Amino acid sequence: MSGSQVLLTIAGSDSGGGAGIEADIRTFAALGYHPSCAITSVTSQNTTGVLDTFDIPVSHIVSQIDAVCTDMRVRWAKTGMLSKNEIVESVADCIRKQGLKVVADPVMVAESGGQLLEEDAVDIIRDVLLPVCLVTTPNIMEAEKLSGVSIKSWKDGKKAARRIADCGINNVIITGGHLDASDLVYEAENDRFTTIPGKFVSGGTHGSGCTYSSALLAYLAKGLDMAEAARCAKRFVENAISGSPQVGSGQSPVDPLASLRTSAHRYNVIRDVMKASDMLVSEPIFTKLIPEVGTNIGMAIPGASTIYDIAGITGRIVRAGTRPEMAGHIDFGASSHVARIILAAMEQDPRFRAAMNIKYCREVLTVCSQMGLGISSFDREDEPEDTHTIDWGVTYSIERYGRVPDIIYDEGGIGKEPMIRILGRDATAVASVALEIAGRLKV
């Protein structure tokens, strides 16, 4: 296997699966690389902290690195937990021997709590390891220890980055999660600083530093320059934090596979909405259910929070003579109206991820009742001030019914066409209900 396909992590193992080599391996795999590893320490660790550590004998750490590099021709690697002087020195020797391009994550304290680096090893990290590495990725607290600079602002951060670079490393990235949401990239060769803006996202952060440095390594291996790789790595770790699973009673771990799962969900939603739309436009009988404003149909990914998590038709399904016709294409964020219906329904029951609108008439409601569908409604005249009609109307109808109904309707208002909405768990199920209604309708 070529070096471009294999990445190596030289780090400790987290028994809780949130950080260390476990996070590194998932990150490498998520970004398309074969992961390899050399374990430096085994920790007894969970979401509440580090309970115990056992350092692997130095000779075995070296033999792990040699075994991987002599067979797989690894060119890119990262370091994580290197707990004591002898381990740091031996790993630095291996980096020189193998000619590796290395991202050094100077792990000192676990995100969940617990010292992972002996105090007297900080100087060895700075003076022996960093000079043989391409870039280091300390957080604010680690950068303070490496530089001796107290960081209260990014002006202090720039001073610290320069001081760290003075040890002989060309690139320093200070991750600012403990200061603000930005990261600071310093390229010593050009004395250039780049600020990578970010945002605080909800979710667990255990393993975020490991995941960031692993993602940075992967993007550098793909050929991106330092600033762009840092930008991509930041985006990756933000997704991993927002997708963190609720496990354990402490700081939840990040999920490096979150972006893959989101992509899969988005693909499946697009495919389902396309299938549902094809079902509707291929049946002439659906024409009788198309309202004056046209029909839209949408479906959300699991955990949707904005209209851009919901796919719909950029235009509408409209009447074209005696047949329905789709004007537009399927995309996320395409229909704010249907998206708001879905988001309001998901607030009450996250299983209801799809909806569509059809023509209102008493005959349609009668058919819905005959089909045994749950029906609720709202009156636009009852809408409170400073609310959005659909958000309020759907929520009101659900509360009135006691759960999410299959059908929500209103009889319109001044300048507003009366409308029926069908809700369901996926777009094809909603489309099937609409076609059954159309088939039973006598008018």
Same domain flag for 283 and 245? no
Which CATH number fits the domain that encloses residue 426? 3.40.225.10
Same domain flag for 65 and 176? yes
d(Cα 151, Cα 347) in Å, to the nearest integer?
Answer: 41
Residue where a domain terminates, one of 254, 274, 292: 254
Q: Is the pLDDT of residue 112 over 70?
A: no
Same domain flag for 329 and 355? yes
Q: Is the pLDDT of residue 369 over 60?
A: yes
Same domain flag for 248 and 345? no
Beta bridge partners of 330: 313
Same domain flag for 315 and 237? no
Q: What DSSP letter does each residue of 235-298 carry, written as one string?
A: HHHHHHHHT----SSSSPBP-TTHHHHHHHHHHHHHHHHHHHHHHHHT-GGGGGG--TT-B-EE
Same domain flag for 296 and 385? yes
Q: Which helix (H) or strand (E) holds 22?
A: helix 20-30
Residue where a domain terminates, one of 226, 254, 282: 254
Over the chain, what is the mean pLDDT?
A: 93
Q: Which helix (H) or strand (E) holds 391?
A: helix 389-401
Please give the tally of structural domains in the chain: 2
Beta bridge partners of 196: 183
Residue where a domain terminates, one of 206, 236, 254: 254
Same domain flag for 223 and 293? no
In this structure, the strands spanning 419-424 and 354-359 are: antiparallel
Stretch 281-296: mean pLDDT, rounded?
A: 96
What pLDDT digit, counting tens, does each position of 114-143 carry?
Answer: 555 667 778 899 999 999 999 999 999 999
The answer to whether the pTM exceeds 0.85 is no
Strands, E assignment, 15-153:
34-46, 49-55, 76-79, 101-104, 135-136
d(Cα 354, Cα 339) in Å, to the nearest integer?
Answer: 9
Q: Is the pLDDT of residue 4 over 70?
A: no
Q: Is the pLDDT of residue 388 over 90?
A: no
Same domain flag for 317 and 211? no
d(Cα 420, Cα 437) in Å, to the nearest integer?
Answer: 12
Q: How long a stretch of residues is the chain?
A: 443
| R_g (Cα) of the chain, nearest Å | 28
Q: Is the pLDDT of residue 349 over 70?
A: yes
d(Cα 439, Cα 98) in Å, to the nearest integer?
Answer: 71
What pLDDT digit, counting tens, does each position of 176-231 carry?
Answer: 876 788 999 999 999 999 999 988 888 888 999 999 999 999 999 999 999 999 99
For position 381, what pLDDT does the model report? 86
Same domain flag for 244 and 287? no
Q: Give the list of residues 6+ apart from residue 225 with CB closer than 8 angstroms, or none.
A: none
Same domain flag for 215 and 283? no
For position 3, what pLDDT does the model report? 42
Which CATH number fits the domain that encloses residue 9? 3.40.1190.20
* Boundaries of domain holding 389: 262-440
Same domain flag for 297 and 222? no
- Going across the sheet that includes 310-313, the strands are 330-332, 310-313, 297-300, 354-359, 419-424, 407-410, 375-377
Same domain flag for 298 and 179? no
Percent of the chain with pLDDT over 70: 96
Q: Give the list of residues 6+ apart from residue 96 with CB closer than 8 angstroms, or none.
A: 132
